Structure 1
Amino acid sequence: MTALAENLLRELTPQVLGVLIRRHGQFEGCEDAVQEAVLAAAVRWPAEGVPSNPRGWLVTVASRRFIDEMRRDHARREREAVTAAEVVPDEVPDTDDSLVLLFLCCHPTLTPASQTALTLRAVGGLTTAEIARAFLVPEATMAARISRAKQRVKAAGSSFSLPEGPERDERLRVVLHVLYLIFNEGYTASSGRRLYRADLAHEAIRLVRMVHAQLPEDGEVTGLLALMLLTHARRSARMTASGDLVPLTEQDRSRWDRELIDEGIDLVKMALAGPELGPYQLQAAITATHASAVTAEETNWSQVHALYLILERIAPNPVVTLNRAIALAEATGPLAGLALLATLDGDERMAGHHRLLSVRAHLLEKIGDRAGAYADYRRAAKRTASIAEQRYLESRASRLRT
């Protein structure tokens, strides 16, 4: 199977699943049928070639698999009479239901973990084993989580259609948050030896591109796509050849992907042209400010700090305050940054968090408090589950002992 065919299958899987769910109304049964069709394509297309209408081919095969399964299911004899006589139509609808499917996977009755897993399975086309490896849980655990998510969606009685009005806006925020979580886990894995999970990062970008193609006027969708592209552009410079983490200020910017940066900056301009500002638009503007600086020294830290101030007002969050402290320290000095960090010490969400400890260690190092910085670097290293981050923090601590 060529990479081109694999990418085509991944792109078509949610479209085909959307067709089947709209036609038959059964999430789990339809998904099983689509996965069987994708497996059949993976076996036959390399030998026979990709059909002229690959989407129609997959819909036809999946529909037949679904109907065959319904015939074999003796517990559903009443439906068998209906489905057994069904003829798979030659014409496959041109509509792409991927966005509807994405909204369904992000149903508000599901937990964020279940929303993420179901999205990667149904819309992203990842196998249960791949998702389990990404989140470092046994495959059986992830399979049970996905199965429960499908059952909850079914129990909620959701129709396969886009919600309208305020419900659509609310659900879209959940969709974007899920895609944001997927990208963050791919770009900086929360645990394990690998800092970067290319499969998750690429999949998040692909899915946001899909949403943006269908909702191009939405500023937050545009902002999230810009944020991902601008962040992803730095991936080649984030690690040394030996796998050690390289912080933003020390990266070789000639290795950044200028094509992605140019696209991202254009999207930021579009996102900021609307009447309202949201968190993703502001984060994208901050990332664009970094991307526009030829060197770390040329970064407009005052602008970064001002953007974080706005972000902190519209979406209060201790992580935003932490990042603002970094910008404030760069703009006016480490003492100001340390003073702002002190306001987070009583926040239970940040208590003992490795990022708070590592930022404080960095600022203590800047003011010459080597002992304090050493202690916080060591504490931070013990609090993170990422091997790459542990190595980096331990190396920072070791430099202070010499």
Structure 2
Amino acid sequence: MTSVLQAVAEAHRREWARLLAATVRVTRDLDLAEECVQDAYTAALDSWTRDGVPARPGAWLTTAARHNALDALRRAGTLRSKLHLLVEPDVAAEPVPYDDRLRLVFLCCHPALAVEAQVALTLRLVCGVSTPDVARAFLVSEPTMAARITRAKKKIMAAGIPFRMPAPAELPDRLDAALTTIHLLFTTGHTAPAGAALTRDDLVAHALDLARMLRDLMPDEREARGLLALLLAGHARRTTRATADGRLLPLAEQDRSAWDQEAVAEADALVVGALRGGAPGRFALQAAIATLHATAPAYADTDWEQILVLYDELLKVWPSPVVALNRAVAVAMVSGPAAALAEVEALERDERLAAYHYLPAVRADLLRRLGRRAEAAEAYERAITLAGNGAERAFLTEKRRALWAGPVET
């Protein structure tokens, strides 16, 4: 039974996005598609326990969900009116064969929805991210996020928004939400909001696939290049971010010789293109910062002055408290921990960061570097309480314990 549970869980991680997108193509109803997919997973648990795990779990689930959808449409008496949708393409002569997931991203990113609702709905439906994890990504409560997602689904269905690739003229209105969604999907996989494992590789893979498809769809769009560059620069470090036993390694301790140099080179080339042709956008600027980290021969060689300049520019186009917190880290490297601490303490008054564990984590590190160990310990405790990821909690716990082990290292 344990092996079946593991197989179903693995199929959920790997297949949810494709499965839901394919089922929406049949039902044209988000709630119904989600229900059919969930029923397919429930049926898999019984069937695979009885008959064994199939050689192609994804194909089995796709067939089951499709049958569920067709049965539901028959019961509702709408199969005949929707039958042509099963065999006819949504948009004639699309230039490249887009994955259903990208169509579903654009469905969720319709301008009729508020931007935060667009992103939250896409993370939940396209990517299978749980509602609690989506809530953590947006720094809001789970009930608030659940209500937001429900309202967004109802609005899409009430407006009759079609499941197809947008026409070229429609793309600009949906681009920023699509970029934001794919980026949040990547960050949710790069450092999982909850659980023992540091990462969720399935979400990272989905994000990279979608970012490449979006860049191919809009090859001249600088922000699409910037997003792909940003993801590649972060993904290049994937094998060095933790030890074999799961201990998190900060950037300064990672083995740069093991980084994926092809990914770094591709990211660097994309950034060059993303920065040309006018004032750069937020994804191009984030990518420039990430590639500066990725191309530095050693941590000590990091160009923190240039990174701080880029954060200043990023704050102008994206005045986010998270950006301000990341900028404070660069301030600490350029001007020292005392200067950075003043900025971090100002950010503590921002309610949007009340549940953001990186805020007390950064404050704890600055206090540690200033020799204020008791205050640092309190800040580490706060960060540990807020952190949902087991690897991060273990890392913060070890940092708190090390406060009293010897002289302060700055």
Instruction: Work out whether the TM-score is over 0.5.
Output: yes
Q: Which one of the candidate residues 204, 207, 212 is aligned to 1:209?
A: 212
CA contact (8 A) 1:16 1:34 kept: no
Does residue 304 of structure 1 match 2:332? no
CA contact (8 A) 1:223 1:271 kept: yes
Aligned AA (2:173): E
Q: Distance in 2 between matches of 1:348 and 1:14?
A: 35
Q: Distance in 2 between matches of 1:15 and 1:235?
A: 28
Aligned AA (2:276): A
The alpha-carbon distance between structure 1 residues 90 and 376, as it changes in their structure 2 partners (threshold 3 A), is closer
Query: In the alignment, what sits opposite 2:238?
Result: 235
Query: In the alignment, what sits opposite 2:105?
Result: 102
The alpha-carbon distance between structure 1 residues 170 and 264, as it changes in their structure 2 partners (threshold 3 A), is same
CA RMSD for the aligned pairs? 4.4
Aligned AA (2:331): L
- Of residues 86-95 and 271-280 in structure 1, the stretch that sits farther from structure 2 once superposed is 86-95
- Within-5 A mapping of 1:269-288: 269-288=272-291
The alpha-carbon distance between structure 1 residues 133 and 344, as it changes in their structure 2 partners (threshold 3 A), is closer
- Within-5 A mapping of 1:262-273: 262-273=265-276
Query: In the alignment, what sits opposite 1:246?
Result: 249
Does residue 325 of structure 1 match 2:337? no
CA contact (8 A) 1:189 1:386 kept: yes
Shift of 1:277: 1.0
Aligned AA (1:194): A
Aligned AA (1:170): D
Q: Distance in 1 between matches of 2:124 and 2:355?
A: 34
Q: Which one of the candidate residues 183, 188, 194 is aligned to 2:186?
A: 183
Q: Distance in 1 between matches of 2:268 and 2:347?
A: 32
Aligned AA (1:188): T
Shift of 1:163: 5.3
Q: Which one of the candidate residues 388, 393, 398 is aligned to 1:390?
A: 393
CA contact (8 A) 1:13 1:123 kept: no
Deviations 1:197-241 (A, max 9, x none): 111111111111111111111111111111011111112111122
Deviations 1:234-288 (A, max 9, x none): 1211112221111112212122111211111111111112323111110000000
CA contact (8 A) 1:63 1:88 kept: no
Q: Percent identity?
A: 39
Query: In the alignment, what sits opposite 1:51?
Result: none
The alpha-carbon distance between structure 1 residues 27 and 367, as it changes in their structure 2 partners (threshold 3 A), is closer
Q: Distance in 2 between matches of 1:308 and 1:338?
A: 17
Q: Distance in 1 between matches of 2:293 and 2:213?
A: 26
- Of residues 327-336 and 97-106 in structure 1, the stretch that sits farther from structure 2 once superposed is 97-106
Listed as ranges, the gaps of 5+ residues in structure 2 are: 1-6, 45-50, 137-144, 406-410
Query: In the alignment, what sits opposite 1:361?
Result: 364
Shift of 1:192: 2.4
CA contact (8 A) 1:381 1:394 kept: yes
Q: Distance in 1 between matches of 2:400 and 2:14?
A: 47
Q: Which one of the candidate residues 335, 342, 345 is aligned to 1:342?
A: 345
TM-score, reference length from structure 1: 0.75
The alpha-carbon distance between structure 1 residues 367 and 89, as it changes in their structure 2 partners (threshold 3 A), is closer
- Within-5 A mapping of 1:41-120: 70-71=73-74, 73=76, 76=77, 95=94, 96=97, 98=100, 99-108=102-111, 115=118, 119=122
- Of residues 300-309 and 89-98 in structure 1, the stretch that sits farther from structure 2 once superposed is 89-98
Q: Which one of the candidate residues 261, 264, 269 is aligned to 2:264?
A: 261
Q: How many equivalent residue pairs?
A: 373
Q: Distance in 2 between matches of 1:161 and 1:287?
A: 33
TM-score, reference length from structure 2: 0.73
Q: Distance in 1 between matches of 2:380 and 2:105?
A: 41
Q: Distance in 2 between matches of 1:276 and 1:375?
A: 42
Shift of 1:159: 3.6
**Which protein has the larger Cα radius of gyration, Structure 1 or Structure 2?**
1
Aligned AA (2:196): R
Deviations 1:174-200 (A, max 9, x none): 111111111111111122222211111
Q: Distance in 2 between matches of 1:192 and 1:19?
A: 32
Deviations 1:270-316 (A, max 9, x none): 11123231111100000000001111000000000000010011111
